[in-house]
Structures are given as structure tokens and as C-alpha cells.
Amino acid sequence: MNFASDNVTGAAPDILQAIVDANEGNLPSYGADPLTARMQQRLCQMFERDVAVFPVATGTAANALALSVLSPPWGTVFCHADSHIYTDECGAPELMTQGARLQPLPGPHGKLTPEVLAAALAEAPVGFVHGMQPAALSLTQATEAGTCYTVAEVAALTALARQHRLRVHMDGARFANAIAHLGCSPADVTWKAGVDILSLGATKNGALCAEAVIFFDPALAVDFGYRRKRAAQLFSKMRFVSAQFDAWLTDDRWLTLARHANAMAARLAAGLQALPGLRLRDPVEANELFLRMPDQVTDGLLAAGFQFYRWEGDVVRMVTAWNTSASDVDHLIQAAAELTKIT
């Protein structure tokens, strides 16, 4: 049973069907098709303003390309020490920015705080020709610890960023899960809270392969078409990616799928934290759980075929997804309960 990742799931049936439907006939290539136009419209509605949308293949591509707009090669990008851009992108942001430096910062539960950012900025060698120059802040929403920045937290960080002339990127690989938790509008926690560019991911939340770079200030996007092409991220048969976003956005499917994943995580957390010796490391706000678990439980669950990751020390990571079933969750809780009884 999969609790390893929201990437090992298939695509949601309605999204897969949208790809099949998009297969009909010949359509203009490279994004000049009607499905791409409709996706753009839907994203403008979702964010309550004109946005410039650039689909790409992966979250890494979205992040690295977004940062290449926000930072010069001599810039510093401040991010959380656990951020995907810092730990899991094999230097793609450094490559695409042609040399910008990611500066990892600490913060509880996967979140940066204004205090930590202010301390880093105070040390930055602004105007010193030998030093890297502060250029951008990158926040992950939902975070790599399965928590979510509130609107006020995002706004406080971006206000500080602005004071120091930093641009702001948001890695939204699990943006839908964050909105499902926060209950705010997508606009509230992005451009209205000071975010310049969002990497919007649908892949983990029911799509087959659909990620996009969303610009809230279209003026920033003027050259982006060339950047994307140069990075080999311009799909010729764009309609198949657009069809996924289109179906994802129809009837708030993105929220329904994310709400389900989050609800399964909450159910799992409630069941597991009630067991002796098991403790959540972080609040469970989206679709990931990090919890401290005795070895006998971890070993027993893995041996029984439950899939999840050992993280660090006695911490394990479990992830739920749009297709996680309540009965799988209950099975895992039941099995863990049995294992805690073994002496």
C-alpha cells in the first residue's frame, strides 16, 4: 500500500479522459491550440487577475526557470534548508540562473520566518563587488514538512523581502493541498500576499504530467518564452498538458482531489498519534506526515508491505494522495497498533 509518495499514483480518471478527448484531430502546435487558451483563461479566473502561464514538464523545470527570471547570475536566493530547490534539484536552479547561489536557512516545521530572513539579510554583502547580491526569496507552499504558510506569514516574509528589493518565488508543487488546508483563495496567498512567480504543480494531485510557471506580473514574463524554449521545455503537443490543467481546474477538481489527500493524511495522523510511542514531528496540514516511530513499528510495517520512507533517525515520512483509500489508512493504523503491542 502506497504511503511513499504522491508521485507514484496514476492520473485521476477525469484527467486521463481529458487527454484522450484532446487526442481527437489535428490542432495547432506549441500552445496555439484552443485548449491552451482555455487553460489560460481558467488560470486567470483561479487567480482573479491576468496571469501569464507557461506549462513545463517538471516541478524542477518550473522552479529553476522561475528563479532564472528573479535572480541574476550573481544573486543569492534565500530558501529553507529543506527546500526542494536546495536539496532535490541537482543544481538546476544554479544552472538555469547561470550561477545564482541558494542560501539555505533554518526554520521550524519547514517554514522560514522573518527573523531568520532578516538575520541572513543583515549579513549580506549588499553593494560589495566581491560578494553575491541578495536577489530572491523562495517559499514552498505546502512546505516540505507538510505544513502550510498562512496568508499572514507569507505577507510578512514578502514585506521584508520587498524592503530589501528581493523578488519572491513560491514553489507550489503541492499548492492545491495548501489551499485545501488554508481555505483562502489562491490569489490571497500568492500575488495579494506579495508573490511574483508561482510554480504550480498538478502532477502530484491527479495529473499525469502538468506543471506551470505562473507570472502575476505579465511584464516580468516578456522574455520567458525564449527562456523556456532554450531550456527545452516548450511542448510541441502542448494541448495534452493544457488538457490536464483544464480538467484539473474544471468544477474545482483540483480542490476536491487535494481535500481528499489532506483528509486521508489527517485520518492517518489522528490514528497513529494515538498509539503509544508514536509522535508527530510536524503539524499535519497538507498530505505529508513526518512522525517519530519506534523501530519495531517501522520495520514491521515495511515488512508487511506498507510503503513509506525512513527519513532521519526514528522519523518516517508518509504521504497520502488523491487516490489513497480510507481502508488503506485504517489498515496501516491497525497494523501499527498491533506492532506497538509486541514487547
Cell of 35: 485548449
Least distance in angstroms from the C-beta of 126 to ligand PLP: 29
Q: Binding to ligand PLP by residue 171, rule CB under 6 A?
A: yes
Contact 33, 238 (CB under 8 A): yes
Single-letter amino acid, residue 308: F
CA-CA distance, 211 to 308, in Å (whole number)? Answer: 25
**Binding residue (CB under 6 A) for ligand PLP from 121, 135, 173, 238:** 173
Cell of 97: 540562473
x/- track of binding to ligand PLP for residues 99-138 (CB under 6 A): ----------------------------------------
Q: Segment contacting ligand PLP (CB under 6 A): 32-40, 58-66, 108-116, 317-325?
A: 58-66
**Binding residue (CB under 6 A) for ligand PLP from 71, 140, 244, 262:** 140
In degrees and rounded to multiples of 5, residue 150 shows phi and psi of -75, 165
Q: Binding to ligand PLP by residue 144, rule CB under 6 A?
A: yes
Q: Segment contacting ligand PLP (CB under 6 A): 52-60, 225-233, 262-270, 315-323?
A: 52-60
Measured from the CB atom, the residue of 174 and 259 that comes closer to ligand PLP is 174
Cell of 6: 504522491
Q: Binding to ligand PLP by residue 94, rule CB under 6 A?
A: no
CA-CA distance, 139 to 178, in Å (whole number)? Answer: 12
Q: Pick from 286, 263, 117: which is nearest to 201 by CA?
A: 286
CA-CA distance, 103 to 76, in Å (whole number)? Answer: 7
Q: Binding to ligand PLP by residue 206, rule CB under 6 A?
A: no
Residues near ligand PLP (CB under 6 A): 58-60, 84, 140, 144, 171, 173
